[in-house]
Amino acid sequence: MSPIPSNKASIVIVVAAVVVVVLPLFLSVVKHKEFSFSRSQQSSMATEKFGVKIQKNPPESKLTELGVRTWPKWGCGPSKFPWEFTATETMFLLDGKVKVYVDGYDESFEIGAGDLVVFPKGMKVTWDVTKAVNKHYSLEK
């Protein structure tokens, strides 16, 4: 076997370095980007809990489309109280955290800052405001 000429040896070393160093970095970035993309898709998907629709961190385009920033505001400090929705209410929580107990269910769920939530007309709940709430809201006419 004849020795590899030095210029070919240099090329082989550079290619090997690229494969060993750069390729793993590239793959980790690609994997992270795919993970971030799927997480952002999941975070803006709507879920439903006991008939309440919840969309976590909806895109700004959705909020603009709905006119959320023009809706009236309501807020309250930590407290616990019963509530009945006399109209379908859509709300966007700017701040706070609420544990919601829906009448007829043993379990609860939480909503908080960044959530777009729709409560159906006639639903009875108990709101347990654990962190002061500030929200925009719209009542269906």
Full pLDDT tens readout for the chain, 141 residues: 556 556 776 666 655 655 555 555 555 544 444 333 444 444 568 899 999 999 999 999 999 999 999 999 999 999 999 999 999 999 999 999 999 999 999 999 999 999 999 999 999 999 999 999 999 999 997
Q: Which residues pair with 139 in a beta bridge?
A: 89
Tokens 């379990």 correspond to: 107
Q: Give the CA-trace dihedral at 113, 59, 135, 133, to 10 degrees.
A: 0
Rounded distance between C-alpha atoms, residue 128 and residue 41, angstroms:
29
Which of 27, 24, 46, 29 is CA-nearest to residue 90? 46
pTM over 0.85: no
- CA-CA distances (angstroms) from residue 23 to 3, 13, 15, 63, 97? 28, 15, 11, 40, 43
Query: What does 35-86 look like in DSSP terms, one character per residue?
Result: HHHHHHHHHTSEEEETTEEEEES--HHHHHHHTGGGS-EEEE-SEEEEEE-S
Rounded distance between C-alpha atoms, residue 85 and residue 34, angstroms:
40
104: left (phi over 0), alpha (psi -120 to 50) or beta: left
Task: Quote the longest CA-to-CA distance of the chain.
Answer: 89
